[in-house]
Amino acid sequence: MTRQPLRLAVAEAERALAAAGVDTPRVDAELLAAHVLGVPRGKLLMVPLVDHEVVAALGALVARRAAREPLQHLTGTAPLGDLDLAVGPGVFVPRPETELLLRWGLEALGGVSAPVVVDLCTGTGALALGVAHARPDATVHAVEKDPAALAWARRNVDALAAAGGAPVRLHAADVTAPDPLPDLDGRVDLVLSNPPYVPEGTPVSPEVAADPHHAVFAGADGLAVIRSLVDLTACLLRPGGAVAVEHDDTHGESVPALFAARTLFADVALHRDLAGRPRFTTARRT
Ligand SMILES: C[S@@+](CC[C@H](N)C(=O)[O-])C[C@H]1O[C@@H](n2cnc3c(N)ncnc32)[C@H](O)[C@@H]1O
């Protein structure tokens, strides 16, 4: 059987994905090729020729991606910082922009030994695991209400623990319920959260529509969960403890205002992404 140049198969995949309106056709084509070959994307150049079976397997994945199945559902993983998290249908796919929040949180923990950290609305466990990986001395709690998401979180937590990372304690709970973590009240050094925040009815891409609805949307103004998070965070943080909450780019005034309205919070700050869009808000417990 004749072998074919991989670069031609990748170029054809790129063309098909561009025609389907995929934002990053080259990156997606290369990541799918790397997935089929079982090599890191950076090593594709070391595979000049591939068998017909590889081209066929790549073609099948490209057809699914062209139908706008999320890339991460096809590869089964999504990166966050140094971690590769297992993902699939039924759980929110962690996005690169959440790394900004994680980085801020890790900096806020500088100088705090054996910190207690809570990730509210954990999904795959992304933020909780990012902290546990970077700070093995931390005690990390993660809260999620959706059983399907919790199953993915359990899988990722077990994988990090098996690799020698700090264990993450998972809590099946609703962050809008009264006092869901009573044992942690007043003891927490850092609360991180990427909750659902898109205003109901906002048009979204097919990839975002593939995430569970309740993981993305939160009421008419997108603040239905964040309002409760502000109250819960005020209970959980110790004096001097810090919080960072990701939000919609339409929330650049409303979320800082929710924190500033509580005398329990100080140093309220809005953080923008590299494109200048409001991305997350931070505060400290007085
Ligand atoms: C935007 S996703 C983010 C997941 C994860 N933090 C990340 O960055 O990848 C929001 C998550 O919050 C969960 N969620 C939504 N409402 C919740 C609530 N009231 N209590 C607990 N979890 C909730 C959803 O099931 C979903 O997993």
Ligand 1 centroid from CA 205, angstroms:
19
Say whether 133 sits in a helix, a strand or coil: helix
Give the atom of ligand 1 at the shortest distance from the alpha carbon of 193: 6
pLDDT at 158 (0 to 100): 96
The candidate with the shortest Cα–Cα distance to 174, out of 146, 215, 140, is: 146
- 176 CB within 6 A, ligand 1: yes
**Taking the domains of the chain in order of start, what are their residue ranges?**
4-67, 75-285
Nearest to 167 by CA among 147, 142, 192: 142
Q: Which helix (H) or strand (E) segment is 154 a member of?
A: helix 147-162
CA atoms of 14 and 59, how far apart (whole Å): 11
Dihedral-angle region of residue 26 (phi above 0 means left; psi in -120 to 50 means alpha; beta otherwise):
alpha
Q: Which two tokens stand for residue 277?
A: 């869009």
- For 222, other C-beta atoms within 10 Å of its C-beta total 23
- Cβ atoms of 283 and 243 closer than 8 Å: yes
Q: Which pLDDT score is estimated for 1? A: 62
How far, in Å, from the CA of 215 to the mean position of ligand 1?
Answer: 5
The residue whose CB lies within 8 Å of the most ligand 1 atoms, and thus the one to mutate among 80, 143, 144, is 144
Ligand 1, atom 26: closest residue by C-alpha: 215
Sequence length of the chain is 286
CB 97, CB 126: distance < 8 Å: no
In the reported structure, the alpha carbon of residue 194 is separated from the centroid of ligand 1 by a whole-number distance in angstroms of 7
**CA 112 to the chain's CA centroid:** 24
Q: Cα–Cα distance between 44 and 282 in angstroms, integer?
A: 40
Residue 116: which of 201, 43, 52, 181 has the closest Cα?
181
H or E element, residue 16: helix 6-19
Q: Which two tokens stand for residue 215?
A: 């993981």
Place of tokens 């996005």: 95
**DSSP tag of 217:** B
CATH fold of 75-285: Rossmann fold (3.40.50)
Among 83, 91, 92, which is best to mutate for testing ligand 1, by the most ligand atoms less than 8 A from CB?
Answer: 92
User: pLDDT tens, position by position, for the chain (286 residues)?
Assistant: 679 999 999 999 999 999 999 999 999 999 999 999 999 999 999 999 999 999 999 999 999 999 999 999 999 999 998 899 999 999 999 999 999 999 999 999 999 999 999 999 999 999 999 999 999 999 999 999 999 999 999 999 999 999 888 889 999 999 999 999 999 999 999 999 999 999 999 999 999 999 999 999 999 999 999 999 999 999 999 999 999 999 999 999 999 999 999 999 999 999 999 999 999 999 999 9
> How is residue 169 written in tokens?
């304690």
Cα(39)–Cα(44) distance, integer angstroms: 7
Contact 134, 81 (CB under 8 A): yes
pLDDT at position 184:
98
Nearest 5°: CA angle at 127, between 278 and 22?
A: 60
